[in-house]
Structure 1
Amino acid sequence: MRVALISPYPDITAYGLRSIAAFLKARGLAVRLILLPDPLGDALLDAPARYPDRVMADLARLCAGCSLVGMSLMTNYVDNAVQITRALAAAGGPPVVWGGVHPTIRPEECLAVADYVCVGDGEEAMADLAEALAAGSDATAIPNIWTRRADGSLAQNPVRPLTQDLDSLPPPDWSHDDHHIWDPEHAENGIVPLTPAMTEALLARGTVSRLLGRIGYQTMTGRGCPHRCAYCVNDAVKALYGAKGYLRWRGTEHVMAELETVRRVLPHIGYVWISDDAFFARPLEEIREFCRQWKARVGLPFTCLGSPATITREKLDALTDAGLCYLQMGVQTGSARIQELFNRKAMGNAVMLQAMAVINAYKDKLLPPSYDFILDTPYETLADRLESVRFIAQIPKPFRLQPFSLVLYPGTKLHAMAAADGFLTDERRQVYTKSYTMRRPDYVNLLILLAKGGRMPSKLLAWLACDAVAVPLSQPVMAPVWRAVFALAEPVKKLLRLARSWRARPGDRA
């Protein structure tokens, strides 16, 4: 029994898919991992055909000897999954199961294309499905798996209890054993076997890798999130299982063993990106033990994410001593009214500024922290947005901003509200093909982008966001001006990137 697992994500980390691959191998199944990074990346377009015909032909050949194909996807990658599934079906390929966030939220929609849908965590469900198909037994009553019966009725199976002992699951598969990739930057090569050297080169392209000047390896030390933000799909998935027991942690030994193994396979890794939604939510004593073992067994710089309510001086003491070099924190908005809308009232401005002051105390040990902001919320007024900009003017320097245009993902509370209130009228344009980089071209967003690097003088930013200046410049009559400014910004940024690249390689100029 061989299972092919396909990832359409631009990032080759594909943590969830690699975790399922490792679990299936531990159950005695052969696994073929196929990475098909979306050629559009974050620059989404309404382009249903993502991959060249040659790539789909290569994929059909790789999947021809398999008994099941699994694919993980989020909402923005539905087009990829549709193209891949239809190409395999046209070639007479094996049945296809979709899993991940979007199929979990909208299983019935996905079954219009896929043969099966995996709802929720996928390890045990995928193994049970693969084994049922291999044995020719009934595959319509497997927990977490949805499908259509022969009579067309829907087999809507409940989810099984969450695995609480994450240490019972193997770490993600980075073995390169039967791993394959199509690299959009070398599209002419088609799908080729993936080598460790190729993996390291691809990881080096990552945003944080470029920021730190080191090859980064991404992992997770837990699953779930302690918060229930209205814009986040975590809340929808948590509701599927019930909030109790949703946040789970791997043991320190389990994480360290993974990193020791990966460093033997990928010896040029220069730092580790811990991408848990809220790493700082771990209890203090667990963090201290984690740091003790990190120093003894890993010794690399690392980065992580935190939320304002969980960042403390005691935790940062331990983490910076162990090698924490950079962190990211969700701010989202400086408006009290929008914080309540986002269900983040407990993380108001006072709490966030306190966390920022703690982080700033370690500025000699850390790179400037990144603070996430959400733009273009349909419920914001101009007053809300200016309140956010004035909050940015209070952030202690140095810092960076990561501004994301809101995407109303299915299953979130904000999606349901916006649909009911008439703000969401075209899901394909507003959700499925919208990227977080598609910011509205207006005066307030321009201010936030100008403040992005943390270098704009705080008093100047506050003055530009005062009503006397900002209200006239935000009137509809000014809209063509800001559209023109944003239209010019992208080519200018590309020229600056090219200039920096040219200056960084003096040997190429000879």
Structure 2
Amino acid sequence: MNVHFRYSKKNSYSFAVLSPLLPEAGFVDRPVDGIMIYSFTTRQAAKVFMEVKNAGTDSIFIAGGPHPSGAPEETLEYFDYVVIGEGEETLPELVKTIQGREDPQKVPGIAYRDAETGKVGRTPKRPYANLDSYPCFDPHKLRAPIEISRGCPWGCKYCQTPRLFGREVRHRSVDSIVKNAGYYNDLRFIASNAFGYGSDGIHPRFDKVEKLLSALYKIPDKKIFFGTFPSEVRPEFVTNESVELVRKYCANDSLSLGAQSGSDRILKEIHRGHTVGDSISAVECCLEHEIIPTVDFIFGLPTETEEDQEKSLDLVRWICKKGGTVRAHYLTPLPGTPYASAVPSEVSDLVRRELGKLAFGGKLTGYWEKHRKFDKK
């Protein structure tokens, strides 16, 4: 039975990691006969479910990624199997089991619907993967930024990361990262907190960050982009020491920071683990070192009041006035998180108007209420 990844640009990072583990699998842009593998987020779920429902193919459908892992019961209304969380070990074993006509219910780390009872079952959870045991990508097939860390200790209520990958942070070794870096001229990385490399995610180990950056810096003709898209850094990890490492070794002149709110009450409520003061200090530290802070905010958090929103607006204005930029996001309740069933709060007229003005001025991009987007070209 042939194996196919249902490719789209939005799942390319996931499939870059998984495709070396299923070297016989190809990439397709629509359902075909055989074993079909999907990975998708909540925003893509409805479209994917409709595609599978109307496929009309002789296929076994396997789903993985953030939405299926958080909502396996819903996903199994359309799919045959769901890979829960990490797929490096589970997916190849599941595919081999299906091809061998063996019992998939013996594969750890999956969800399935029992053919007799119709009930959803889950097999035992699989241990988290050692990143060094698996390649970042197949350079001859599909590439992605180099994943240097996985997991997060903080447990923010809106975030799937610790639920998918655990609260113990795992790191790829410097040797492994350097090996993968040979395939790129511009080096970019995946990490929930790039400055947390080598640490427990709570207490910085900038000595280990420097060990990584200095090793990469020695490779000829490479540009290092660290702490910027597609990764970010936590505000309390932005210090003179960490920013100087960027200035010394890296090509980026900006850092992506997750402030999320200008209200200390909200930050405490969502278990963010830092304060507004930490965000202010991070912005000031960046600017002192001639680094542009690009700061993320979430609007529409469930317990957010107009007063909380206006505090966020005040911080957004201050950042823009100082010379930073802001990316606004409207809360999307994600399955598997404490906010999965939450109703996002409405953004007040005042805050909506003022964010719109900043957007038209080129200082703010993104979403700040449902279905409204601005990205000044």
TM-score category (smaller protein):
0.7 to 0.9
Residue identity (%): 22
Aligned-partner residue type, residue 27 of structure 2 = L
Q: Which residue of 2 aligns with 1:17?
A: 15
TM-score by length of 2: 0.85
Residue 338 (structure 2) pairs with residue 413 (structure 1): yes
**1: CA distance between counterparts of 2:274 and 2:132?**
32
Classify 1:77/1:174 alpha carbon distance in 2 versus 1 (closer, same or farther; 3 Å). farther
Partner of 2:6: 6
Letter of the 2:43 counterpart? N
Which residue identity does 1:84 align to in structure 2?
A: E
1:290-439 matches, within 5 Å, as 290-297=212-219, 299-304=222-227, 305-325=232-252, 326-344=254-272, 346-363=273-290, 366=291, 368-395=292-319, 397-416=322-341, 418=342, 423=343
**Which one-letter code corresponds to 1:401 in the other structure?**
V
Q: Which amino acid aligns with 1:276?
A: A
Decide which structure has greater helix share. 1
Is the contact between residue 85 and residue 113 of structure 1 (CA under 8 Å) also seen in structure 2?
A: yes
Compared with structure 1, are the counterparts of its residues 455 and 362 closer, same or farther at alpha carbon in structure 2 (3 Å cutoff)? farther
Query: Following the alignment from structure 2 to structure 1, what is the Cα–Cα distance between the partners of residues 145 and 308?
Result: 35
TM-score (norm 1): 0.64
Name the CA distance, whole Å, in 2 between partners of 1:162 and 1:318. Answer: 30
Question: Quick one: distance in 1 between partners of 2:52 and 2:285?
Answer: 49
- Secondary structure at 1:306's aligned position in 2? coil
- 1:309 partner SS: helix
**Do the aligned partners of 2:149 and 2:190 also contact (CA within 8 Å) in 1?**
no
Unaligned runs of 5+ in 2: 198-204, 364-368
Q: Distance in 2 between matches of 1:22 and 1:294?
A: 24
Amino acid in the other structure paired with 2:4: A
Number of residue pairs the alignment of both structures matches: 356
User: Whose Rg is larger?
Assistant: 1
Residue 224 (structure 1) aligned to one of 143, 151, 157 = 151
1:82-101 to 2 correspondence within 5 Å? 82-88=49-55, 90-92=56-58, 94-101=59-66
Alignment deviations for residues 346-368 of structure 1 (CA, whole Å, 9 cap, x no partner): 411222212222211221xx3x2
Shift of 1:299: 2.2
Structure 1 portions without partners, runs of 5+: 37-58, 180-198, 200-216, 264-268, 425-429, 431-438, 457-482, 498-510
When residues 70 and 361 of structure 1 are mapped into structure 2, their CA distance, relative to the original with a 3 A threshold, is same
Q: Distance in 2 between matches of 1:149 and 1:452?
A: 50
Taking only aligned residues, the RMSD between alpha carbons, in angstroms, comes to: 2.9
Structure 1 residue runs of 4+, over 6 Å off? 453-456
| 1:279 matches 2:182 | no
Q: How far apart are residue 445 of structure 1 and its match?
A: 2.3
- CA deviation after TM superposition for structure 1 residue 451, in Å: 3.4
- Determine the C-alpha separation between the residues in 2 that align with 1:138 and 1:112: 20
C-alpha contact 2:146 2:180 (8 A) present in aligned 1: no
Q: Of 104, 107, 123, which residue of structure 2 is paired with 1:157?
A: 123
8 Å contact kept, 1:222–1:249? yes
Structure with the larger strand share: 2
Residues 212-291 of structure 1 correspond to what in structure 2 (within 5 A)?
A: 218-237=145-164, 243=167, 245=168, 247-261=169-183, 263=184, 271-282=186-197, 283-291=205-213
